[in-house]
Amino acid sequence: MRLLIILAAIIGLNGCISMDAITPSFKAESDTSYYLIDTKYRFFCEGDSKRCRDMTKVVSSRDQLNPIEQAYNQQVKGPNYPVSLMLIIMNPNDKRYKATPVGGEGRYFKVPKNDTTDLVWRTLNNIQEDLFSTGS
């Protein structure tokens, strides 16, 4: 009988107590002081945030890559434009920075935020907006 009362009380209180009331509202801030390249899925992400741009979209917007090519003094070449762009970002000819691996699987690489990587971010953002705008 005692077990039944305790069980009924737990079930009854379950609807009254919100999990938000007993869990802290702390949310870790994202570090966006760098860019992260995902070589498997060809994403260019703002730090460890979930804000990413898909580099595979450059295939449809080849004409918009000219500013990046000028900034890096390298040409994004086919047939695999996303991989070519990724390699340019990771290994600039002038060695102005070096991509550093993150983790042990060789999938992620960190590059610093600077004028050229910011240009890549803006260009990829523009490509994404152009491809998915309503066009009205």
4 domain-assigned = no
Residue 5 lies in a domain: no
- The tens digit of pLDDT for each residue in 12-56 reads 545 544 444 444 455 567 888 999 999 999 999 999 899 999 999
Q: Is residue 118 in some structural domain?
A: yes
Strands lying side by side in the sheet with 34-38: 52-54, 43-46, 34-38, 108-112, 100-102
Q: Determine the Cα–Cα distance for residues 53 and 57; give it in Å rounded to an integer.
A: 9
In a domain? residue 1: no
Is residue 21 one of the residues assigned to a domain? no
Overall number of domains in the chain: 1
Average pLDDT, the chain: 85
For residue 76, being part of any structural domain is answered with: yes
136 part of a folded domain: no
Q: What is the pLDDT of residue 14?
A: 53
The reply to whether 19 falls in a domain is: no
For range 69-94, the mean pLDDT: 97
Range of the domain at 60: 29-131
How confident is the model over 114-133, as pLDDT tens digits? 999 999 999 999 999 988 87
This prediction has a pTM of 0.76
